[in-house]
Amino acid sequence: MAFTVRLLLFSCLFLLPVSVFAQTNGSIAVGDSLTATAANSSPWLSPSGDFAFGFFPLGSNGLFLLSIWYAKIPDRTIVWYADRDNEAAVAPKGSTVNLTANSGLVLKSPQGEELWKSEISVGVVANGVMNDTGNFVLQDRNSESLWETFNNPTDTLLPGQKIERSGTLSSRQSETNYLKGRFQLLLQGDGNLVISTINLPTEFANEPYYSTDTTSGTVAGSEGKELVFNVSGYLYVLRENGGKYNLAGEEVVSARDNYIRATLNFDGIFAQYYHPKNFTGNVSWTLRWSEPDDICQRNREDSGVGVCGYNSICTLKDKRPTCGCPKGFSLLDPNDPYRGCKPDFIQGCEEDELSGTKYLYDVEVLTNTDWPTSDYVKVYPFTAERCNESCFQDCLCAVAIFRSETCWKKKLPLSNGRVDVNLNSQAFIKVRKDNSTLQFPPMPNPDDKKTKKKSSNTVICVESIILAASIFVSFMFSAAACRGFFFVFRKKHVRSVENILDSNLHSFSYQELQEATNGFTEELGRGTFGVVYKGTIQIGSGVQVAVKKLNGVIQDGEKEFKTELRVIGKTHHKNLVCLVGYCDEGQHRLLVYEFLSKGTLASFLFTDIKPSWRQRIEIAYGVSRGLLYSHEDCGTQIIHCDIKPQNILLDDYYTARISDFGLAKLLMMNQSKTHTAIRGTKGYVAPEWFRNMPITTKVDVYSFGVVLLEIICCRRSVDVENNCEEKVILTDWVYDCYLEGELDAVVDYEVQALGDKTTLEKFVMVAIWCIQEDPSVRPNMKKVVQMLEGVVEVKVPPCPSAFVSQV
């Protein structure tokens, strides 16, 4: 008996180390798998436990990143992650990764869709190994490597890792966004190690802003062969002749006592960091070396937009760039200051000529700030005052830089903005006094010369003008001045007194518009109200416009036509298309709008390539603000009655601009596209049109809710070709998905949208509130904007079709 007990104890002592080794030797058997869930996300560890391979949770949004990270450091810094076609393979909750014999690692979504796999060209996988170097290796039965993460780097190098010629590192989009960023480190075919910006979504690289110049030069064999990060922590370019180009100097920190990594950061800086292996308390990574020293100053015309994006200013802080916007500009993405800035106003030669520059702009002065690659004019010798005035009077000029008797005038978009204390310069920035598209300035009373001399800042608007018929020319000038602008055309025509007094829009002749559109030849689109043609009006230099020929306008309704146009003409908001003028001649009724080159929201949304989530969010904000203005802020309330993606245009900055405002009243009753006496388009029409109920601004709220769902889902409101009957009507399908908690399906498992799930859920809930059949339950546009912007809490919406009408 005693012998038996001793034998069992001996056996346990023998088996115990074997069991521990089996759990920590880093070897993974074919058939093993991991699942992306909070409860079952134990990773595969390296023998020392330093590195982990598995699903890394991305916040609390239910998304995971298949990756390798430092397991013993509290912040668990990621050193590698799976990507497909240079995009991070972000996986939703419930995804699995399996180790297979034929394909190696295979990542699949909960629905079984293959998200990513390791590329095994030859051989059969026998097992996987998570090494203490941080390298995950797939081996055959002879322990030969078939695939490894060291040969497929993302943004980080580890000791023992190399990059051969044509090998790259790609930055992330941001610290927490693992989509491919704008920076690339490349060991070129000529042996030169360079860092460049990439013009996404293509792979085109701009000229490098950093290089080692390890090319052949005058010494044979001096070109770089590979970028080496050896096990001792040395980082260098190994030359063909065996020489070395040290990137991080001769001295290194101990690789035995420290974790060491080299990362191409999301802001374009390639840096080496170290972190002690044995530590107590809150210890972070320490920067040992980085290039370039000042990325804000690495500006060349052929180097791309720069680290901070267009219209922004880069400032170096602790060797890392920070980005900001000048006055009058705001971030394209409030959550990402590196994407650039957009002007909060619309600058253009047409607006300046019509309104007068001095009434439109103020000047903001910045010191030691420059956008060195946006010049279009250089003037020398000059003074600061003349430089400022020259830009102020130039409709193309956004900023003027004055330094050393030289004036550089720059136009939008501004690129590579930076602060440099050594510049000794002044920047004069033109900033719009308000955010409107056009500002009609008050004009001075021509009879009060003394008042004009005493104060150039005091202007008196002529509200009413009583003129004698004998001085017609004086009348024409004064009346036009009261409204703030007038057009000069090749062929002048006589306008009636009623036209000038009753409208601040320009009255065109039919012949003028026929000539401007070259005989109405280039069609831009057609819809409920008519056909739109592209044209050019000669105002100094040619100005592009969109000319709409109205169909079926109310008969014998000249007075109502002009009344409505007066109302429309007074609307000026950055989210509304500006109406420039009209033609009312015989049977011809035409409208002249500003031309927006990016086309309709419909053509932007309903394509094979889905627009980015952030772009769609900004467009939704813009449409809601434009509707709010028309309903509550523009003096006379305007109901659009036909809100749909075809009636929403995009400007050069993809800002949403609603068109065809107020035209519903001009349409003959039998011109409706859906039903007699109903204004609007099928799929967007509010139920009250069919129920003999009063038509209010709530019809626009309903249509906006449908459009908001289209923006979220990038699909049309009615899709009769959809194979799934449940998905044909967008509003019904989205509400069902919302009830079942399946919003992932609404955005087709789009990574960016799921990464911003709070906004996604909020926008869907707001849309459901908007499409309530009972108009009294729908919020007004002010409440909608407040809910979208997070000012007001969005409560759980009721079922949209709960309202039963009394017929």
Residues in contact with 230: Cβ distance below 8 Å, sequence separation at least 6, in sequence order: 159, 160
Measure Cα distances from 618 to 52, 82, 612 in Å: 38, 30, 10
The amino acid present at 481, given as its one-letter code, is: A
In the block, residue with structure tokens 């060797």: 319
Q: How many CB atoms lie within 10 A of CB 502?
A: 15
Please say whether the beta carbons of 386 and 407 come within 8 A: yes
Task: Give which of 98, 105, 104 is closest to 124, Cα–Cα.
Answer: 104
List the end-to-end C-alpha distance of the chain, in Å, as a whole number: 94
Please say whether the beta carbons of 514 and 504 come within 8 A: no
Please name every residue paired with 57 in a beta bridge, in sequence order, or none if there are none: 64
Please say whether the beta carbons of 120 and 146 come within 8 A: yes
Tokens of 378: 């250089």
Please say whether the beta carbons of 160 and 231 come within 8 A: yes
Alpha-helix runs per DSSP H in 696-798: 698-713, 730-739, 743-746, 751-754, 757-770, 781-788
Q: Is 549 annotated as a binding residue?
A: yes
Cα–Cα distance for residue pair 326/429, rounded to 1 Å: 8
The amino acid present at 166, given as its one-letter code, is: S
Q: Known catalytic residue: 642?
A: yes
State how beta strands 579-585 and 648-650 pair. unpaired
Catalytic residue selected from 155, 394, 642, 651 = 642
Please say whether the beta carbons of 104 and 120 come within 8 A: yes
**Burial profile 266-277: b = 16 or more Cβ within 10 angstroms, e = fewer:** bbbbbbbbbbeb
Cα–Cα distance for residue pair 641/630, rounded to 1 Å: 12
Greatest Cα pair distance in the chain: 135
Please say whether the beta carbons of 701 and 687 come within 8 A: no
Task: Tell me 629's DSSP state.
Answer: I
Measure Cα distances from 179 to 86, 113, 341, 478 in Å: 8, 20, 21, 59
Measure Cα distances from 138 to 29, 128, 149, 491 in Å: 10, 4, 9, 78
CA dihedral angle for residue 711, residue 717, residue 723, residue 725, rounded to 10 degrees: 120
Please say whether the beta carbons of 307 and 323 come within 8 A: yes
Please say whether the beta carbons of 429 and 366 come within 8 A: yes
Q: How many CB atoms lie within 10 A of CB 25?
A: 13
Task: Give which of 273, 262, 264, 268 is closest to 297, Cα–Cα.
Answer: 268
Q: What are phi and psi of 9, to 5 degrees?
A: -60, -45
Task: Tell me 198's DSSP state.
Answer: B
In the block, residue with structure tokens 């974790």: 259
Please say whether the beta carbons of 156 and 146 come within 8 A: no
Bond prior to 208 in cis (omega within 30° of 0): no
Point out the annotated binding site for ATP.
Answer: 549
Active site residues: 642
List residues forming the annotated binding site: 549
